[in-house]
Amino acid sequence: MIKSNPSSPLTTQRESHKVSTHLVRPSASYSTQASEQNPKEGTKDLKTVEDPFDSPTYNIPEKPVTFAEGASYSLVIVAGLGIAAVAGYAVFKELIFEPKEYKIFGKALARVQNDSQVTAKIGYPVTGYGNESRNRAARQRIPNKVWTDEDGVEHVEVNFYIRGPHGAGKVYSEMFKDNNDRSWKFTYLIVEIVSPHRVQLMLESYVPA
């Protein structure tokens, strides 16, 4: 009778194959689980990362602008632009559009128009013009004289005609520019009414202090 040897090479080889197979399977399973878990962990890490430049933006409180505040800002801007426009126009008009003789003519005519003695004689409204002529250009040309005295004071003399509903006359006026306050002041302002009745009115006369 032949007895089988339990430690034969064939038996040993099979047992060794079982052991190695048992040892390899958990390793493959572990590798598969790790590969399945790693993308999730990577995604989780990407989601939790925040941009450091965006964080302060969300923390800044935004103060709403009310209707009253917006309206007040608009009024301030409009008022500033209006003041600048008026000042610019005044300077431009002074230097370009309105020569000195026309400026003095305007001041003298306004003084005559607002004088009750004149309106009582020739009526209201009172108009002024440079010359007795039907030519419009001649009527708009104001006879004048401009000079500077020995003290450096500038003088402007103008003569013009006036007319109202009930009469007419002539105006003789001179103004000087005060060097102290840089304003124009009357040296004299005389109105000579020629119709309906001849009379002379002294409206302004400068008396030095």
Cβ burial, residue 204 (10 Å; 0-12/13-18/19+): middle
DSSP string computed for 25-65 = HHHHHHHHHHHHHHHHHHHHHHHH---TTTHHHHHSPPPPP
Asked whether 173 and 108 are in contact (CB, 8 A), the reply is: yes
Measured distance CA(57)–CA(196) in Å, rounded: 85
User: What integer pLDDT is reported at residue 50 of this predicted model?
Assistant: 52
Instruction: Pick the closest to residue 164 from 109, 101, 108 (CA basis).
Output: 109
Within-domain flag for 176:
yes
User: What integer pLDDT is reported at residue 113 of this predicted model?
Assistant: 97
Measured distance CA(102)–CA(85) in Å, rounded: 22
Measured distance CA(24)–CA(85) in Å, rounded: 93
Within-domain flag for 6:
no
Whether a cis peptide bond, with omega within 30° of 0, leads into 196 is: yes
Same domain, 108 and 85: no
Same domain, 108 and 178: yes
Q: Tokens for 160?
A: 């013009």
Same domain, 92 and 142: no
Within-domain flag for 49:
no
Same domain, 129 and 180: yes
176-183 LR contacts (CB < 8 Å, sep 24+): 176/206, 177/153, 178/153, 179/152, 179/153
Measured distance CA(4)–CA(75) in Å, rounded: 115
Same domain, 109 and 185: yes
Measured distance CA(155)–CA(146) in Å, rounded: 6
Q: Determine the structural domain holding residue 127 and report its residue range.
A: 100-196
User: Could you state, in chain order, the average pLDDT of each consecutive group of 10 residues for the chain (209 residues)?
Assistant: 46 46 44 46 48 51 62 79 75 64 95 96 95 86 94 95 96 94 94 96 85
Instruction: Pick the closest to residue 128 from 157, 104, 106 (CA basis).
Output: 106
Total domains in the chain come to: 2
Measured distance CA(20)–CA(192) in Å, rounded: 139
Q: Check residue 21 and give left, alpha or beta (phi > 0: left; psi -120 to 50: alpha).
A: alpha
Measured distance CA(193)–CA(199) in Å, rounded: 5
Same domain, 174 and 111: yes
Q: Give me the amino acid identity at 177.
A: K
Same domain, 146 and 185: yes
User: What integer pLDDT is reported at residue 107 of this predicted model?
Assistant: 96
